[in-house]
Chains A and B, each alone.
Chain A
Amino acid sequence: MTILFWMIFQVVMIALAAPLFDGIARVLRARLQSRKGPPDFFQTYRDIIKLYKRSRTAPRCAHWFFTYAPFFLYATGAAMLAAMPITYGGLESVGYADIFVLVYLAALLKFVFGVASIDSGNPFAAVGGSREQMIGVFVEPVLIISLLVVMLLAGTSNLVVIQQMVLNGEVGFFMPAYAVASISFLWAMYVESGRNPYDLAEAEQELQEGVLGEYSGSDFGIAQAALILKQFAMIGLFITIFQPWNFGLEHPFLALIVFLVKAGVFYVAAVFIDNFGARYKLLSGFKSNATAALSISVVALVLYIVGV
């Protein structure tokens, strides 16, 4: 019962706080681009509220899937966040907080995204949807192999146990396999968060907002909030496995605050990557990048097998 409470508590808190970090990122990005940008850090809240007040519209050819997809996306993002042992890590082991649960939830999110965009009937959205799946094809092997190394090292797929083992020093950066896996996982995490230069699916200039192209009003607001949640979930997974230290703050509430600050730093710092340079093309720039990341993750696996 307590665990369920803490799960819901952490999801609500992160959902409420996430737009703040998006706002900070936007202000920082504007400064880097020598423009004025939003007046303060709360612009994303205002945007979502404004969008949420508006009515819903859907293309005539779209089906129920298109209509419910934003809620589905949001729910999936929330479910992913709930699976992170942030507040309840020290309490007891929970079966739900499992790497496989997270990996499948992420795949589900991608699937919903793709189907909703194809269902919208917009050819650009369809291209965006298919790009999203292609990105999945490139990223998921890296993600799985990196996580596999961690699971093999820890001997379990339960996140609570893995987190405890890292905290106790049973598994950690002194193991080369773990350290190398963290590098490839970091890449996969960044790509999954859908930011430039990997924002192929949502490329505004190429695909006219791609997958989200046909959403407007409250649907669009929810979908955007869901995407921010998804980014936090991906960052959260990295933090849970590779950066779980919370400076001895065991109390669930304090642990949540530490998590938010850490995730926020990652989220905002990504501006220094996404602000510069041009978007990759799927089959040239992106592919070679993915190959490099895949080889890093394979190196991690080999290191585990040879046992250094």
Chain B
Amino acid sequence: MNDKMNKKGDIFINKLKEKIKILDVSRMPEEQITITVDRADLPETVRMLYYDMGGWLSTMVPNDERQINGNYTLYYALSMEGGKMSYDDELPAEDKCWITVKAYIPATDPCYPSVTRLVPAAVWYEREAYDMLGLVAEGLPDPRRLVLSDDWPDDLFPMRKDAMEYNYRPDPVDHADEPEYKFLHPEGEGLIDVPLGPLHITSDEPGHFRLYCDGDTIIDADYRLFYQHRGMEKLAENRMSYDQMGFLAERVCGICGYAHATACIEAAERAIDMEIPRRAQAIRIINQEIERLHSHMLNIGLACEVTGNINAFMHIFRIREFSMELAQLVSGGRKTYGNVVVGGMRRDISAKEIRKGLELLQTMETQLKEVWEAVMEDDSQVSRWKGVGILDRQVARDFSAVGPNIRGSGFKRDTRYDHPYDFHDAIEYEVAVEEGCDVYAREWVRYKELLESISIIRQCFEIMPAGSIITNHNKRIIPQAYALANNEAPRGENIHWIQHGSAQKVFRWRCRAATYNNWPSLRFQFRGNTIADAALIVCSMDPCYSCTDRVTVVDVKSKRSKVLTHSDLKKYSQTLKHSPLKDI
């Protein structure tokens, strides 16, 4: 390669070099740049990329590389696409890329300065880094546990390579001795504490919400998730082959599992620069869009059901059945699972199936338009959605929200559009964006995306090239090669990061579900609404409970965050002096 030529991402690196000493630059897949900095420079580097150059925090991977180089490593992966706060605040397509900021943490001194103080979006990742690997983020505002249960032993960090003998498990703590999880509780006159969960009744998923209400109005909220952490990332390490990985990744989610499987397998493929046949790419896209069809219809239906409009819910579910039938046609199962393998696909589509599929798409489109029109004409339904659960644009920017959640707040942020993958370069489609910031806008985004999905599937069916669906290149896994893969799941951008190990096994797999980036902003969406809207707001975010909880107070102006302890708040509300929020 010619060093003189400007390569992708050089503009960012040159700007960074003015202030920060960059130790190393590498490009594993061409558009994924890794820059290594000293751990002391980490917060400033991430901040410059995030706020000054228009990056969004896509994932952060803490890794135990002691057997490779004697250190722990942190990878902050940023998607460089422009701040998007205004219409022209966006990078041109040729400059969009991934920049991963890498820092070594010596094994003898496992700590690093917290990025969260400068970039609030990192808060969840840094908490998880402590839970999983015992890496301490100095100055991280929230000291609570994230993933692991409250009675987990203090000195056991499961993602360390030497941490767990699998015939050894920490003893369960007696129920009476379980430590209490500290919910943030605002003090005040006549506040009711309404616990929602641990099993959320409308989502039927585990998540414990605390709503602090004055009468019917929610003053604040706190939540604890991760009740069903299954330790999948640990399970994958050194144990599973790549043929098994797809099946494991599918089990991350019951609805958008296909997107996870594809992202996981594509991360493995990208790390060794493996091209898959175009036909296989197109089939992967078709399956993902089918998943979006049934997931969005589920969500729109639930958004009606939660407000008591059972009639609309039932009719949307009737139409949803067509998408399940389509899935069965294309993938052989109602849930599109079990199809992705490294190098391509397992199952091809016949011309007969395509013809039947096109008919189904036509039926779905007509009926969907009819039902949506009826829902929109219903003033009582629209008034329940409008102005509810406002996601402030600055909050969305600070926390790197993804999916319909952020597109409903006027950000043109879609990973299919920012970082096109697979067959997407051959397909025409519009990114659905709405400006309302409320539930109404988010449901409109979903409806528009349904029509776009139908159009994408139709285009794939029509222009899909013939040929093989699996590559016969005999590529070998390169130990320690890593890459991230992105795709737009129904709920937003999924990021999977894979580092290969030796012996054709995974060394480190980091799976970041879309909702992981959406949870922290939920608290801001709750405030000022009524209990009647609580379930609706959670529903409009379309949560996947494979995520976590974190609560920080963020001042959107100074972009700094601070966590209030229980006693801080208590003291302040008793005396009303020395506001704990003054200095942030």
Residues of A within 8 A of B (CB): 32-35, 123-124, 126-127, 131, 196-197, 199-200, 203-208, 275-285
Contact B381 A277 (CB under 8 A): yes
Q: Is B469 located at the chain interface by the 8 A CB criterion?
A: no
Q: List 28 A-B contacts (CB under 8 A).
A: A33-B310, A33-B315, A34-B315, A35-B318, A123-B192, A124-B194, A126-B192, A127-B194, A127-B213, A199-B308, A200-B532, A204-B201, A205-B201, A205-B202, A205-B305, A205-B306, A205-B307, A205-B535, A206-B534, A276-B378, A277-B309, A277-B378, A278-B308, A278-B378, A278-B381, A278-B383, A281-B532, A283-B216
Cα distance, A67 to B216, chains bound together (Å): 27
Chain B hits for A281, CB < 8 A: 384, 530, 532-533
Cα distance, A147 to B470, chains bound together (Å): 78
Q: Is B14 located at the chain interface by the 8 A CB criterion?
A: no
Query: Which of B193, B304, B534, B535 contacts A278, CB < 8 Å?
Result: B304
Contact B306 A206 (CB under 8 A): yes
Contact with A along B512-532 (1 / 0, CB 8 A): 000000000000000000111
Q: Which of B192, B308, B530 is the most central at the interface, judged by chain A CB atoms within 10 Å of its CB?
A: B308
Chain A hits for B380, CB < 8 A: 197, 277-278, 280, 285
Chain B hits for A199, CB < 8 A: 308
Minimum distance in angstroms from A61 CB to a CB of chain B: 15
Chain A hits for B195, CB < 8 A: 123
Chain B hits for A124, CB < 8 A: 194
Query: Which of A34, A207, A278 contacts B384, CB < 8 Å?
Result: A278
Contact with A along B189-220 (1 / 0, CB 8 A): 00011110000011000000000010010000
Q: Is B228 located at the chain interface by the 8 A CB criterion?
A: no
Contact B193 A196 (CB under 8 A): no
When C-beta atoms are compared, the residue in chain A nearest to B539 turns out to be A205
Mark out the residues of chain B between 369 and 412 whose CB falls within 8 Å of any chain A CB in the assembled complex. 378, 380-381, 383-384
| A206 with B531, Cβ < 8 A, contacts A123-B192, A281-B384, A285-B383 known | yes
Q: Is B311 located at the chain interface by the 8 A CB criterion?
A: yes
Contact A197 B532 (CB under 8 A): no
Minimum distance in angstroms from B131 CB to a CB of chain A: 30
Q: Is B427 located at the chain interface by the 8 A CB criterion?
A: no
| A279 with B315, Cβ < 8 A, contacts A203-B308, A205-B305 known | no
Query: Which of A33, A205, A283 contacts B308, CB < 8 Å?
Result: A205
- The list of the 7 closest CB pairs from A to B, nearest first, reads A279-B308, A33-B314, A278-B307, A277-B380, A278-B381, A278-B309, A205-B306
When C-beta atoms are compared, the residue in chain A nearest to B313 turns out to be A33
Extra pairs beyond A197-B308, A206-B306, A207-B531 (10, CB < 8 Å) = A34-B314, A35-B314, A123-B195, A131-B216, A205-B535, A275-B310, A276-B311, A276-B378, A279-B309, A282-B530
When C-beta atoms are compared, the residue in chain A nearest to B309 turns out to be A278
Chain A hits for B384, CB < 8 A: 278-279, 281, 285
Cα distance, A284 to B216, chains bound together (Å): 12
Mark out the residues of chain B between 162 and 195 whose CB falls within 8 Å of any chain A CB in the assembled complex. 192-195
Contact A33 B311 (CB under 8 A): yes
Mark out the residues of chain B between 526 and 549 whose CB falls within 8 Å of any chain A CB in the assembled complex. 530-535
Cα distance, A208 to B318, chains bound together (Å): 25
Contact B216 A282 (CB under 8 A): yes
Chain A hits for B532, CB < 8 A: 200, 203, 206, 279, 281-282
Query: Which of B201, B202, B308, B534 contacts A196, CB < 8 Å?
Result: B308
Chain B hits for A207, CB < 8 A: 531
When C-beta atoms are compared, the residue in chain B nearest to A203 turns out to be B308
Minimum distance in angstroms from B251 CB to a CB of chain A: 28
Chain B hits for A279, CB < 8 A: 307-309, 384, 532
When C-beta atoms are compared, the residue in chain A nearest to B217 turns out to be A283
Cα distance, A275 to B378, chains bound together (Å): 12
Chain B hits for A131, CB < 8 A: 216
Cα distance, A279 to B378, chains bound together (Å): 12
Minimum distance in angstroms from A278 CB to a CB of chain B: 4
Cα distance, A304 to B233, chains bound together (Å): 76
Contact A34 B531 (CB under 8 A): no
Contact A32 B308 (CB under 8 A): no
Cα distance, A208 to B196, chains bound together (Å): 9
Minimum distance in angstroms from B313 CB to a CB of chain A: 8
Minimum distance in angstroms from B316 CB to a CB of chain A: 10
Chain A hits for B192, CB < 8 A: 123, 126-127
Cα distance, A123 to B192, chains bound together (Å): 8
Cα distance, A131 to B530, chains bound together (Å): 12
Q: Which of A32, A127, A283 is the most central at the interface, judged by chain B CB atoms within 10 Å of its CB?
A: A127
Contact B308 A34 (CB under 8 A): no
Cα distance, A258 to B535, chains bound together (Å): 44
Minimum distance in angstroms from A192 CB to a CB of chain B: 18
Cα distance, A32 to B318, chains bound together (Å): 12
Chain B hits for A278, CB < 8 A: 304, 307-309, 378, 380-381, 383-384
Cα distance, A127 to B214, chains bound together (Å): 11
Minimum distance in angstroms from B537 CB to a CB of chain A: 11
Cα distance, A200 to B193, chains bound together (Å): 20
Cα distance, A199 to B308, chains bound together (Å): 9
Chain B hits for A208, CB < 8 A: 201
Contact with A along B284-308 (1 / 0, CB 8 A): 0000000000000000000011111
Cα distance, A279 to B313, chains bound together (Å): 13
Cα distance, A277 to B381, chains bound together (Å): 6
When C-beta atoms are compared, the residue in chain A nearest to B305 turns out to be A205
Chain A hits for B535, CB < 8 A: 205-206
Cα distance, A207 to B216, chains bound together (Å): 11
When C-beta atoms are compared, the residue in chain A nearest to B387 turns out to be A284
Chain A hits for B315, CB < 8 A: 33-34
When C-beta atoms are compared, the residue in chain A nearest to B529 turns out to be A281
| A123 with B194, Cβ < 8 A, contacts A206-B534, A278-B381, A284-B383 known | yes
When C-beta atoms are compared, the residue in chain B nearest to A277 turns out to be B380
Minimum distance in angstroms from A195 CB to a CB of chain B: 10
Q: Which of B213, B531, B535 is the most central at the interface, judged by chain A CB atoms within 10 Å of its CB?
A: B531
Chain B hits for A204, CB < 8 A: 201
Cα distance, A275 to B315, chains bound together (Å): 12
Chain B hits for A33, CB < 8 A: 310-311, 314-315
Contact with A along B271-286 (1 / 0, CB 8 A): 0000000000000000
Cα distance, A196 to B533, chains bound together (Å): 16
Contact A127 B216 (CB under 8 A): yes
When C-beta atoms are compared, the residue in chain A nearest to B382 turns out to be A278
Q: Which of A196, A203, A208, A278 is the most central at the interface, judged by chain B CB atoms within 10 Å of its CB?
A: A278
Q: Which of A205, A207, A275 is the most central at the interface, judged by chain B CB atoms within 10 Å of its CB?
A: A205
Chain A hits for B314, CB < 8 A: 33-35
Chain A hits for B193, CB < 8 A: 123
Cα distance, A199 to B309, chains bound together (Å): 12
Cα distance, A208 to B315, chains bound together (Å): 23
When C-beta atoms are compared, the residue in chain B nearest to A32 turns out to be B311
When C-beta atoms are compared, the residue in chain B nearest to A124 turns out to be B194
When C-beta atoms are compared, the residue in chain A nearest to B384 turns out to be A278
Minimum distance in angstroms from B145 CB to a CB of chain A: 25
Minimum distance in angstroms from A275 CB to a CB of chain B: 5
When C-beta atoms are compared, the residue in chain A nearest to B310 turns out to be A33
Cα distance, A127 to B309, chains bound together (Å): 21
Q: Which of B311, B315, B530 is the most central at the interface, judged by chain A CB atoms within 10 Å of its CB?
A: B311
Chain A hits for B530, CB < 8 A: 281-283
Cα distance, A208 to B211, chains bound together (Å): 15
Minimum distance in angstroms from A277 CB to a CB of chain B: 4
When C-beta atoms are compared, the residue in chain B nearest to A282 turns out to be B216
Cα distance, A131 to B535, chains bound together (Å): 17
Minimum distance in angstroms from B387 CB to a CB of chain A: 10
